[in-house]
Structure 1
Amino acid sequence: MSTNIRKGSHTVIRLTCHIVWSTKYRYKVLQGDIQARCRELLIQVCEAQEIEILKGVVSPDHVHMHIEYAPKLNVSSIVKSLKGRSSRKLQQEFPVLKKRYWGNHFWSSGYGAWSSGNITDKMVNEYLEHHRRKDSNDNSDFILE
C-alpha cells in the first residue's frame, strides 16, 4: 500500500476512500472474461484520472475499491466515471449483457463510500484539544463545551 503524499506549492494532501457498488439486481455476471475486462476498464479509468488503486476486488455481483485521489476530484465524479465507462464498454463488448440489462443500466444506481486515511477521528480530536486554549476567553472553539 502506498503512503505517498501529494504535495503542491502550498498543500500537503492524502485523500483515500473505500467505494463499493453493485450490478443492477445483484446479478452475478462479473465472472470469467467479463470480470477480467471489468477490472481492466476500472484500472484504465483510474490511470487516466491519476487515481491510485490501493486495493480492489471485482466480485461476481459488486466491486470494492480502495483508492487514493487528487483533491481536484470528488468521490461522486470518480464513481460516475468508473461506472459509466465500464458499463458502456462491457455492454458493447459482451452482447449477453445487453440482453440481460435492457435500457443500458448495468450497475445499480447507488454506491457506498467511506473515507479512510492515516489518522482516526480520535487522533484529530486529541490534536484539536491539544491546541485549544483552555485559559482564554477568545471563543476560538467551533463547538463549545
Structure 2
Amino acid sequence: MYSIQYHVVWCVKYRHKVLTGDIDVRLRELLHQIATDNGFTISEMETDCDHIHLLIDCTPQHSIPTMIKALKGVSARLLFKEYPVLKKKLWGGHLWNPSYFVATVSENTGEQIRQYIQNQKGGEK
C-alpha cells in the first residue's frame, strides 16, 4: 500500500480574482470529480480568489504532470462553458496560468500542510 501526497498550487491567468461564489463552489465539485475519474483523491482544497491549493493523495502510477493537466484542463473547459462571463474577464481562452507549484508531503509535515491549506481563504498568504 502507498501513501503519496503532493501539495499543489496554481493561479488564475493574470491573477484575476474570479474564484468566488458559484464559480468557486463549482470548481471544487469539478476538481473532486476529475480526481475521482482519474483514480486519485483531493484530501484538502482551498481557494483565495486568484489561486488554489490542493493536497492530493495518489499512487506511484500517477504522474504529477498528468494529474495537473487533467485537473486544470477539464476544469477550465467546463467552467468556461458553464460561466461565459469568465471568457470576458480572461481573454485568450485560458483560465489558468500554465505553471504550478508542487511539493511532496511527508508524514511529518502532512498535518502542517493540511492546516496551511485550510487557512488560505482570506487568511495567511
Fold match (TM-score > 0.5): yes
- 1:24, 1:119 → 2: CA distance? 33
Q: What's the RMSD between the two structures over aligned residues? A: 1.3
- 1:27, 1:115 → 2: CA distance? 27
2:56 is matched with 67
- 1:64, 1:119 → 2: CA distance? 19
> What residue ranges of structure 1 are gaps of 5+ in the alignment?
1-6, 8-12, 121-145
Greater RCO structure (CA 8 Å; 6+ sep): 2
How much identity, in percent, do the aligned residues show?
A: 39
Matched residue count: 109
- 1:56, 1:98 → 2: CA distance? 24
Structure 1 consecutive aligned stretches of length 4 or more whose deviation exceeds 4 Å: none
* Equivalent position SS for 1:41: helix
Match of 1:43 among 8, 32, 36: 32
Match of 1:83 among 46, 66, 72: 72
- 1:111, 1:54 → 2: CA distance? 18
1:33 is matched with 22
- Could you tell me how far 1:70 is from its partner in structure 2? 1.6
Map 1:1-145; keep pairs closer than 5 Å. 7=1, 13-118=2-107
Structure-2-length-normalised TM-score? 0.82
- 1:94, 1:83 → 2: CA distance? 16
Structure-1-length-normalised TM-score? 0.71
> What residue ranges of structure 2 are gaps of 5+ in the alignment?
110-125
Bigger CA radius of gyration: 1
